[in-house]
Structure 1
Amino acid sequence: MTHTIRTHRPARTTVGALAAAALLTLTACNAGGDDDSKASDDSSASADPSASSSADAAAEPDLDGIPDVVAEVNGEEVTKDEFVPIYEVAFQQATSQAQMGGQAPDEDALKKQTVDELVDTELLSQEADSRGIEVSDDDVDAELETLAKQNQMGSAEELLKAVEKQGMSEDQARSQVETQVMVEQLAADEDGSIDPTEKELRALYAQAKKQQAQSGQKGQKIPPFAQVHDQLEEQARSEQVGKVAESLLKDLRKDADITINL
């Protein structure tokens, strides 16, 4: 059985990721043997900056001209020190994806996306603060353990090591998870329960099977419902949280004082 962790958004950026899936999410387990495991390991190694080719290593983001304060949100600063490590991870991921298509990543667009998402995160953080929502270290630890379980890993430490191999530090991963938990708590406060019903999960499962049948990918059999129950539940929760967060952000941006210096 093989599994791969994907980080859809770096560090504090959350809203776009939550609209699609969990921030640290598993791919479906494959019923393969050692060969499959080796293939997965090779794939992970190729995403590891330390194991990349010399061409990959030469790809560096352009950090010239980035101001000390990249944005201000209702008087709160989003600093260069916050922006740079997040942008560097985003650049690494974009570079890996761009190499498949033979095109270099659009750094201007990537910088704009990064700062916009940092602004969104700051807006949601301010709203959470105003509602008295706080995320403790215990909350983060509990979420990491849950994510480790969903990824068929033995512990949060094992999960963090796997994420680190993909270019994200433990502090960045914990920050990402902290923001995820904060947004989930904010969404629940805004819209009530975000937990899907069993009926909704079975509908998602049926949709997945239908899409697979339509795609004609007969070799990729979807596991039984019970086996992917937790994954479906996380996907449904993430989609609901994403919808609530996006709606909330529309209202928050209307009254916000936002200055982008990038």
Structure 2
Amino acid sequence: MSKKLLTSFALAGVLLGVAGCGDAPEEGADGAETENPADAEQGAEGDGGAEGEAGPEGEMPEPDTSDIPEVVAEVNGEELSGEEFTTLYENQFQQMAMQSQMSGEEVDEDALKEQSLESMIANELLIQDAEDAGFEAGEDDVEELLETTAETGGMESVEDLIQAYEEQGMSEEKLREDAHDQVLIDQRLEDLDVEEPSEEELRDYYDEASAQQAPEGAEGEEAEMPEFEEVRDELEQELTTQKQNEAAQAHVEDLREDADVETHL
């Protein structure tokens, strides 16, 4: 299962976001997202905070974190810190601010804070669920994720990733803790029962894509949709990811219903 399948579950997003803050090419959390989640599901309508309003042309807005408490939520007795929330929120805000510059719409800070908080809650629920189910994240698993994260961020080594993380004021220990948690989440989501797309579903998916095909190509010529067999593998991968997303979202919703969650934001 793709590590970016739920872009709102942003542990990996934070890691990759930090990776992009170094000298590496500025790719999003999903190598483009940001997926993201991504993929960005955050609304860009409404009024932002006093510090989040667009400044002079070319100047990036700053997020308002003045109202973030020391503990933003408790999930089954586990506290979620305001410090970690701020890191996540600032990362998401930066991505949304870049999008808002292109769209001309202000970032809705209240909505983004709510989404960031729900991301943290979902992460904690999945981590607890993974541990309860007996999943473990070994050192090799953590190192593999860090190597993938560094590569996706355009870095040559994990050491470069650690340096970029430290330049953002976060320690190597925290980086590895985040990676450990992300491995647990990935393992739990990969264990979800997801049916493979049927031939009928793939045909329907292809027909929908064909119907949405632009009538003209870039040169004004009629755009041609490849034959089904030519794109079957790609369609199967996309539809499988879609099913995985839906299964993961449903699982988190089930965990949320049974959890003791108290928020303070």
Aligning the two structures, in what range does the TM-score lie when normalised by the shorter sequence?
Answer: 0.5 to 0.7
Aligned residue type for 1:12: L
Give the structure 1 partner of residue 72 of structure 2: 70
Give the structure 2 partner of residue 127 of structure 1: 129
- Structure 1 residues 204-213 or 233-242, which shifts more? 204-213
Structure 1: gaps spanning 5 or more residues: 1-6, 15-21, 28-52
Q: Taking structure 1 as reference, are residues 238 and 174 closer, same or farther at Cα in structure 2, changes over 3 Å only?
A: farther
User: How far did residue 253 of structure 1 move?
Assistant: 1.5
Alignment counterpart, residue 24 of structure 1, candidates 24, 27, 30: 30
Aligned residue type for 2:249: E
Alpha carbons 1:123, 1:249 under 8 Å: kept? yes
CA distance in 1, matches of 2:239, 2:143: 22
State how many pairs are aligned. Answer: 217
Q: SS state of the match for residue 72, structure 2? A: strand
Give the structure 1 partner of residue 192 of structure 2: 190
CA distance in 2, matches of 1:224, 1:114: 41
Task: Kindly provide the CA deviation profile for residues 141-164 of structure 1, in whole angstroms up to 9, marking residues without a partner as x.
Answer: 434656788x7x796659969x98
Alignment of 1:101-112 (within 5 A): 101-112=103-114
Alpha carbons 1:13, 1:118 under 8 Å: kept? no
Q: SS state of the match for residue 95, structure 1? A: helix
Give the structure 2 partner of residue 253 of structure 1: 256
Give the structure 2 partner of residue 12 of structure 1: 11
Structure 2: gaps spanning 5 or more residues: 1-5, 14-27, 34-54
* Higher RCO (CA 8 Å, separation ≥ 6 residues): 1
Q: Taking structure 1 as reference, are residues 202 and 256 closer, same or farther at Cα in structure 2, changes over 3 Å only?
A: closer
CA distance in 2, matches of 1:98, 1:206: 32
TM-score normalized by the length of structure 2: 0.59
Aligned residue type for 1:254: E
User: How far did residue 255 of structure 1 move?
Assistant: 1.7
Q: Taking structure 1 as reference, are residues 146 and 60 closer, same or farther at Cα in structure 2, changes over 3 Å only?
A: closer
CA distance in 2, matches of 1:237, 1:181: 21
Alpha carbons 1:135, 1:181 under 8 Å: kept? yes
CA distance in 2, matches of 1:23, 1:94: 12
CA distance in 2, matches of 1:124, 1:111: 20
Give the structure 2 partner of residue 92 of structure 1: 94
Q: Taking structure 1 as reference, are residues 59 and 154 closer, same or farther at Cα in structure 2, changes over 3 Å only?
A: closer
More helix by share: 1
CA distance in 2, matches of 1:119, 1:254: 12
Aligned residue type for 1:213: Q
User: How far did residue 134 of structure 1 move?
Assistant: 2.0
Alpha carbons 1:184, 1:241 under 8 Å: kept? no
User: How far did residue 24 of structure 1 move?
Assistant: 2.7
